[in-house]
Amino acid sequence: MTIIPIPSRAISDAGRQVLYFPLVGLFIGCLLYGIDQLLSLAPYPEVRIIGCVLFLAVISGALHLDGLADTADGFFSHQSREQTLAIMKDSRIGVMGVLAIFFCVLLKLTGVSGIIRSESFIWFVIAPALARTAQVIGLVFVDHVPSERILAATFYQQKFFFLLLLCPLPFAILFFVNWMMGLLTLMVFALTLGGLLFYFKNKIGGITGDTLGAATEIIETLFLLVGGMSVSIFQ
């Protein structure tokens, strides 16, 4: 989930760690807020904005951006399911992957800029948390592609619904701050993630690590943009 090292004994039951993904997202969000406040001392506002987006990429080892690129290369190749999966497994990045990363980073820069300008800093915490919450929902509700069963079997916890226990936490925080903002966020999140998971299921028969990474980046980017517009929407 992050590049931060943890004791090996903490990963002895990797599958059950899925329960804590929303908390990891909140932790990343708190770090992001701290980085932003530190970078606010920089003489140029551009350094602050770029630094926040760079942090989001670095903290996960750019793993989710890699998944986004692989997913874009595969899905936009317009090939059969088998060929799509083969393209996604290729370590090389194609034009669609480059474009996906480029526009993702560009939109994140826009969202972070809007959040800083409107001082709606809670979204620095909420956006990463919602992105990791999306991972839990995907892992619990959606089939994973058979070819990945050995590679990442411990993290695919389909129908272990107790792992959803902490998923409402980011929404609860928003409802506490502003119930209307919380409700709208829940609706947008459900529609976006539901659409993505349905698309993945229809295209390749389920999810892979790459598609989960893509969903993470899409959800995080979306709610950074929402955060940048939240003051004008909910004032």
Report how far residue 231's alpha carbon sits from residue 229's, in angstroms, rounded to the nearest whole number.
6
Q: What pLDDT sits at residue 151?
A: 46
Which residues of the chain, if any, have pLDDT below 50?
Answer: 148-151
pLDDT in tens, 126-160: 999 999 999 999 999 998 886 544 445 667 777 88
Q: What are the CA-CA distances from residue 80 to residues 17, 53, 87, 147, 204 (Å)?
A: 34, 34, 10, 15, 9
Q: What pLDDT sits at residue 145?
A: 85
Q: What pLDDT sits at residue 64?
A: 95
Q: What pLDDT sits at residue 231?
A: 61
Overall residue count recorded for the chain in this entry: 235
* Backbone dihedral angles phi then psi of residue 208, each to the nearest 5 degrees: -130, 175
Lookup: tokens for 226: 């929402």
Q: What are the CA-CA distances from residue 229 to residues 53, 81, 133, 159 (Å)?
A: 17, 38, 22, 36
Q: What pLDDT sits at residue 149?
A: 46
Q: What pLDDT sits at residue 185?
A: 95
**Long-range contact set of residues 87-91: C-beta below 8 Å, sequence gap at least 24:** 88/208, 88/210
Q: What are the CA-CA distances from residue 58 to residues 28, 49, 198 (Å)?
A: 11, 15, 29
Residues 150 and 143: beta-carbon distance below 8 Å: no
Residues 203 and 143: beta-carbon distance below 8 Å: no
Q: What is the largest CA-CA distance in the chain?
A: 51
